[in-house]
């Protein structure tokens, strides 16, 4: 069995694979100071709930955009799982990177790009609704070609609430109309339709710049909120990053043989 760990700025996702089959997955809040023993307590609990035995794990692969958390998660793997994890970096991802400074790209964005190349079609754009809303471009040759980064939706809601004393913090959802009749619905309109315009506008401009009509796939917590309300998004895959980690692991094993 493989334990795949995706450490994002807001959440950390753990998934267990047996071959190609996803057996279980769990998430918790990313806390960079979480100790080795705290990771152990959490995972021991969720493994037990799903009737899985972590002693049967063969390997661990980690994608992380939070360097401060890397030390603790690696020590957890070594102490409790008796495994030296594969920490995904530029060298582990079998995809060409067409950037000015390839080392700057986040591991999660490369993992998503590989998942597109392996499971979908190119050229493509991945919209990832995370702490940041990212647009990643995979060109017709299957290369990671760059993209765009915008503030994440929940981050924007929180910033608006903190910066304006009279504005409440709202749930992100589609309001009944664009014209809000109260403060809450007005904020929800600005957030929802503002980001809908952002999605459609950036994808349209990327497509124009590429001179192609890319396949557009969305992932992340709020992908399903926007998908029904735009023709821009062609598919939603909440497990895209996990699939990418699985493929990177499989490529890694082949290289070791």
Tell me the catalytic residues. 108
Scanning the structure block, which residue is given the tokens 């590429």?
210
**Alpha-carbon distances, residue 162 vs 63, 129, 157, 219, 230 (angstroms):** 31, 21, 9, 27, 30
Instruction: Give me the sheet containing 215-220, strands edge to edge.
Output: 144-151, 132-138, 124-129, 215-220, 235-236
Residue 188's φ and ψ, nearest 5 degrees, are -60, -40
Contacts 24+ apart (CB under 8 A), 35-40: 35/72, 36/72, 36/75, 36/76, 36/79, 36/80, 39/72, 39/73, 39/76, 39/80, 40/76, 40/79, 40/80
By the 8 A CB rule, do 143 and 97 touch? Answer: yes
**Alpha-carbon distances, residue 234 vs 94, 102, 127, 159, 228 (angstroms):** 25, 28, 11, 30, 10
Examine residue 202 and say whether the peptide bond preceding it is cis (omega within 30 degrees of 0).
Answer: no
């Amino acid at each position: 069995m493989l334990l795949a760990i995706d450490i994002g700025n807001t959440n950390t996702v753990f998934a267990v694979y047996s071959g190609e089959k996803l057996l279980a997955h769990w998430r918790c809040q990313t806390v960079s100071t979480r100790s080795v023993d705290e990771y152990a307590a959490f995972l021991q609990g969720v493994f037990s709930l799903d009737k899985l035995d972590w002693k049967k794990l063969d390997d661990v692969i980690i994608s992380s955009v939070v360097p401060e958390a890397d030390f603790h998660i690696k020590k957890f793997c070594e102490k409790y799982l008796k495994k030296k994890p594969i920490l995904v970096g530029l060298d582990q991802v079998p995809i060409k990177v067409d950037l000015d400074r390839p080392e700057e790209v986040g591991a999660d964005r490369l993992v998503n790009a590989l998942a597109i190349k392996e499971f979908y079609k190119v050229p493509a754009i991945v919209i990832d609704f995370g702490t940041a809303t990212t647009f990643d471009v995979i060109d017709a040759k299957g290369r990671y070609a760059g993209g765009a980064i915008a503030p994440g939706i929940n981050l924007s809601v929180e910033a608006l609430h903190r910066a304006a004393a009279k504005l409440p913090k709202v749930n992100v959802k589609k309001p009944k109309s664009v014209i809000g009749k109260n403060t809450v619905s007005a904020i929800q309109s600005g957030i929802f339709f503002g980001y809908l315009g952002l999605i459609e506008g950036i994808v349209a401009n990327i497509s124009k710049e590429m001179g192609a009509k890319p396949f557009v796939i969305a992932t992340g917590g709020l992908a399903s909120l926007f998908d029904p309300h735009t023709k821009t998004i062609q598919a939603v895959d909440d497990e895209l990053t996990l699939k990418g980690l699985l493929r990177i692991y499989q490529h890694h094993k082949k290289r070791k043989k």
